[in-house]
Structure 1
Amino acid sequence: MTTAARDTRTLHLPAGSAATRDYALEVTPESAGWTHSGLRVLELVPGGRRRLHTGEDEVVVVPLSGGLVVSCDDRTLTLAGRANVFAGPTDFAYLPRGTTAELSSEGGGRFALCAARARRTLPLRHGPAADVPVELRGAGSCSRQVNNFATAGVFEADALIACEVITPGGNWSSYPPHKHDETSEVETELEEIYYFEIAPGPQGQPGLAYHRVYGTPGRPIDVLAEVRDRDVVLVPHGWHGPSIAAPGHDLYYLNVMAGPGPERAWRIVDDPAHAWIRGTWTGQDVDPRLPLHSPDRAATHPPTRPDQNGATRP
């Protein structure tokens, strides 16, 4: 019996390596070598504007820093945005497939365009920041915060699933390693993009993190990436995790997922070799640094504490 061929695609994209004339980052299904998920990062100078054609994709516009005005179908959506990705959840805009939008920013900023190939045409919508569920997962050094702005069951979309994960410096997230590359009662097939931002040190020192992807005997894949601010890792299949934040540098990543199945759901299985770690969280406190955003937002939108043995993670 021959061993399955190892996935040799370029899966770690250092900052700037996937830039195009129009975008600081552009990952399409075609460039990724897969079928469903995409992500662009648009940078606008103060007063800048860009026209966006969604084509076959549904798109969720997420301010990473700064505010944005989205004009589409004779409607105008104003996104207040945020100072940076560590300042708490942001409002966002949903753009349907087959539409054209004008994006403009008086103060300038950086904006993620999360995309998935869509079959249905859903309405243009504004997602308020106040409606974004903030969840604290794990415990101890595995504590992390998840902003579930466009997950299944939270926000309606045709195929796109997206969330933000914030990991305090020194902690591990996306752990235990898990996968979602088959269709079954316990798993859904989803391509996934990790886009990273890393908080600098007190004098602006650049930070770093580590991210792991590895395969099964039938579908080998092997990534151990030292990721820096604004890097991307693509996960076409296989176990992925941990994402490890270096001490002193809080870690943010944006997850964008979509797959071929008719059901929009996020079901995962843990690597059996590491699943036992969940049992150690019982009785441990969540890292007191979380939620990692302003006290006024934490007071008005209290986070939820999940069941440590819960079925939804990472």
Structure 2
Amino acid sequence: MGGRRCDVLSQCKRTTIQSPFLEALLSGETKNYYPGEWASNFLTQGHGRIQPARQALCYILRQALGIVRMPNTYDVKIRANLFDNIDPSDLDFAVEDARRIYEFTQAEMNRVWAKPTITLKRGIRDQEAGVARALFDELGSDNETVPLYFSSLTFFNYVSGAFNAPLVVSVPCPIEWIWASQYTLADLEQGQSCEEFVVACLDPRATMELPASAFDWAETWRDIPEVRITGVKGYPDTPESRRHRVAQALSYLTQEGLEPDDGLRLGIEYEPGKWEGKALRVSRKLVRLGQKLDRRFSSSIFQSTGHIRPRRIIKGGDE
């Protein structure tokens, strides 16, 4: 029960994964299904958009829950050859099991929680929080709400896992979006106290308008002063399109973090400052010292910057 701290939610019964393929993707060993390529299960290090576990889970949940997106909607693009070496019966069983887990979770949440929404949190750390703050400021004070774009599959925490971060995003998540949690699926409990919730956004536009107050910034966190917003081909340079681009970037930061890859619709690339870069080449433990030196020698060439880069298409085709 290490991750189940809420007395109310702890009344939920729990189930376990029955599909070996689904279990491998979420918390087990993936090499038997994706040999010859670097891969990890979703709970460990498989959050990246080009990770097989992330892409396969997104596809499975879309099939299981009937998730259909509007054209050109923010979401994970699934590469064409993802299931070339997967037995169709394994995939069908994974979809069936994912549907069973969802129905079990919904029954338990409606029995125990009995409310239409639950507030879930996402903690954002380090450079991601700094870049997110600068992007948030780009939206300006006139924006009372900020659109948050969801992928098919996203991790959130109920309480404890989001604390001690420079930025915490609070989301009033519809109960019907919850595929599973540590309170309903034993496989999600990894001996930690993060109170994990796996959210499958059912909205066709994958969008939720959040009040600006949903973004809670630590007062001690410094802004990253220079952020370039570059356009994406096909978008007009209007205030609304700019809001859309910045909001997508914020969504990416709050769900994915800073990790350049070729599968991003909008990506964030972080360019460290002069001394921060030198520190990174020696040891990550010296990064904060490098950042302090960059702030001390305040010149634009010493500042850390973040920028949005244009869309890229995964080699091998999209979904």
Q: Answer whether TM exceeds 0.5 for this pair.
A: no
Question: By percentage of residues, which structure has more helix?
Answer: 2
